[in-house]
Amino acid sequence: MPHYEISHTTPLSATQRTHLASAITTLHCTTFSAASIFVNITFHDHHHHEKAKQTGYTKTTFVGGKEVSSTIQYNPHPLPSHDPSIHPSIHP
């Protein structure tokens, strides 16, 4: 599955991203005779707001020319303690 990644610093509107994703998807599908569902496009917006003096990052992903919500959830679990008084069931 192709994954096109576009990094940019110039802000793109949602409409602009949608049009670009659609055009890239169409180009890929007609060039390689592929189904659109296999085309993944991610926009990486590295923006800087002069007035707010802030730098930010957003990511927007499209699959088959349609925007999808992409969230990454990380739920860290602490490693088991080697102290038998804390976790007696895991110590012989």
Q: Give the CA count within 13 Å in the CB-facing half-sphere of 20.
A: 18
* Residue 8 maps to a domain: yes
Strand order in the sheet with 54-63: 3-8, 40-49, 54-63, 66-68
Q: How far is CA 24 from CA 10, 15, 73, 74, 79, in A?
A: 19, 14, 28, 31, 44
* Residue 80 maps to a domain: no
* Residue 38 maps to a domain: yes
CA 82 to chain centre: 37
* Residue 35 maps to a domain: yes
* Residue 56 maps to a domain: yes
Q: Residue 1's pLDDT is what?
A: 79
Q: Residue 73's pLDDT is what?
A: 47
Query: What confidence tens digit (pLDDT) does each residue in 22-72 have?
Result: 999 999 999 999 999 999 999 988 875 555 455 667 889 999 999 998 555
Domain of residue 7, residue span: 3-68
For 5, phi then psi, to 5°, come to: -115, 125
**What is the value of pTM for the model shown?**
0.66
* Residue 39 maps to a domain: yes
The position carrying tokens 């007035």 is 51
Q: Token digits for 77?
A: 């679990």
* Residue 34 maps to a domain: yes
Number of structural domains the chain divides into: 1
Q: Residue 59's pLDDT is what?
A: 85
